[in-house]
A and B are shown apart, each in its own frame.
Chain A
């Protein structure tokens, strides 16, 4: 039986806590507190970490960790990424500049992304089709990165499983996203 640690990150409101809660077999650990930032219409926000566990059909266990999204908690990004076998970056396409949001995480995790696989999940594409998945791909290509980019609704467990399966497939194929 293998154990994998996967890290979920991405901007505030992208759905990290939701994704982990949707997928976890066990009761999740959450550190959500009251959000006092009135510029974001969200009642609660993660200030520590999210944690959940998920067992695959073959018996392998996935430990799911989630980071806070705001940059003021970036000290936790490094801590939480230790020992991760891959990253899932979630984007919220309803935000004013989702491509700029993704850049924050591509830069914040640039060391990890040199060696770890990553899958990008874009949320709220159905109501906010721009930027398109191709726009995301172009952004990554400019940075010499190639990662799968998938439109998802992380409230749906199957969509989160798709992200995890994609990441695991990259792991098995020994792929990281850096173009030489």
Chain B
């Protein structure tokens, strides 16, 4: 389901170039990639970012961190945390400048909800 969900976002959401689902300690479990992006590097990066964002939300007493958005010159990346009863996962979606942040965020959060309930 993680594979098909990742593939769905890649093919249906404009501007998405990579979707990587990772374990919370940085191993990739499913991915859909367009181009040369290295899924295992992205998995490690996403898990670091998710963990560091947890530090921020803990320090600021804002509750659990749900997502992080990295806004860059020519696109963006969104990192979503998925908390299941048996495991924690991290979804990373990378998009170029033709993507719309709200759209990517919406689809990714839907995917996150699906993975947390499955």
Q: Which residues of A contact B (CB under 8 A)?
A: 29, 31, 33-37, 45, 47-49, 68, 70, 72-73, 75-76
Interface size, chain B (Cβ < 8 Å): 20
Instruction: Pick the residue among A31, A45, A49, A75 that contacts B45 (CB under 8 A).
Output: A75
- Cβ contacts A to B, 6 pairs, < 8 Å: A31-B51, A33-B24, A33-B51, A33-B88, A36-B25, A70-B26
Chain B positions within 8 Å of A35 at CB level: 25
CB distance from A162 to the nearest CB of B (A): 29
Q: Are A36 and B55 in contact (CB under 8 A)?
A: no
Task: Give the docked Cα–Cα distance between A49 and B55 (Å).
Answer: 10
Chain A positions within 8 Å of B59 at CB level: 29
Task: Give the docked Cα–Cα distance between A67 and B76 (Å).
Answer: 26
Chain A positions within 8 Å of B27 at CB level: 36-37
Q: Are A31 and B44 in contact (CB under 8 A)?
A: no
Chain A positions within 8 Å of B62 at CB level: none
Interface presence of B7 (CB below 8 A): no
A48-B25 in contact given A33-B88, A34-B88, A72-B40 (Cβ < 8 Å)? no
Q: Are A47 and B88 in contact (CB under 8 A)?
A: no
Q: Are B52 and A73 in contact (CB under 8 A)?
A: no
Query: CB-nearest residue of chain A relative to B58?
Result: A29
Q: Are B48 and A47 in contact (CB under 8 A)?
A: yes
Chain B positions within 8 Å of A70 at CB level: 26
Q: How would you classify the secondary structure of chain B's contact residues: helix, strand, loop or mixed?
A: helix
Interface centre among B44, B48, B87 (most CB of A within 10 A): B48
Q: Are A45 and B55 in contact (CB under 8 A)?
A: no
Task: Give the docked Cα–Cα distance between A36 and B89 (Å).
Answer: 11
Q: Are B26 and A73 in contact (CB under 8 A)?
A: yes
Interface presence of B54 (CB below 8 A): yes
Query: CB-nearest residue of chain B relative to A72?
Result: B44
Task: Give the docked Cα–Cα distance between A36 and B52 (Å).
Answer: 19
Q: Are A47 and B40 in contact (CB under 8 A)?
A: no
Q: Are B47 and A47 in contact (CB under 8 A)?
A: yes
Task: Give the docked Cα–Cα distance between A68 and B41 (Å).
Answer: 14
CB distance from B16 to the nearest CB of A (A): 22
Q: Are B87 and A47 in contact (CB under 8 A)?
A: no
Interface presence of B31 (CB below 8 A): no
Q: Are A34 and B51 in contact (CB under 8 A)?
A: no
Task: Give the docked Cα–Cα distance between A33 and B49 (Å).
Answer: 12
Task: Give the docked Cα–Cα distance between A70 and B40 (Å).
Answer: 13
